[in-house]
Amino acid sequence: MGYTAAPLEKLIEQFSQFPGIGRKGATRMAYQVLSMSDADAAALAEAIQNAHTRLHRCRVCQNYTEAELCPICSSAKRDRSTICVVETPRDVQAFERTREYHGLYHVLHGLISPMDGIGAEQLSVKELLARLGSGEVKEVIMAMNPTVEGEATAMYLAKLIKPLGIKTTRLAYGLPVGGSLEYTDETTLYRALSGRDEL
């Protein structure tokens, strides 16, 4: 019909590539950009460029950081004997919000998924193993999502790490706090039952 101008169509396509944003949401976002002031649109474009050029992966844990080492890896207050292995940088943020974990992290940037053609070599597995050689690390916690890919990745890593004589654990399964037993799926309920703790 030719009623969507080319630069607008291009912007809609760009926004559509984000997870959870469909054609409709992308269209709303694009029109929002058009209604911005010149300065605001420039600030948005600059924030994208800036984040991309100024942030890179921490040499140790592979989380995004401005410095060579991220604030967590370079902190003297963190317990260096424990590494919590997660899928994404967002998972690091989730753990930090609990304020209860004081060890280090390792970000895999994905999970092993043969269906999607993602193997261990595309993840930061090599970098994780390199951290375990010094004898400083006593425990590696597998903190992937409780999905098929998460399980498979945890199993794969455990098989590599256990022979090094390092304790390998994983997050407990069970009822979510505040959740309702009635609406809990059978698998979770079974896990909660078999992992029951003494009071």
Binding site for its own copies (CB under 8 A): 1-8, 10-11, 13-14, 17-21, 25, 27-36, 38, 41-55, 64-66, 70-72, 88-90, 92-93, 96, 109
Radius of gyration, alpha carbons of the chain: 21
Q: Residue 8 and residue 50: Cα distance in Å, rounded?
A: 23
178: left (phi over 0), alpha (psi -120 to 50) or beta: left
Nearest to 106 by CA among 77, 122, 130, 136: 130
The DSSP line for 113-130 is BGGGTB-GGGTTHHHHHH
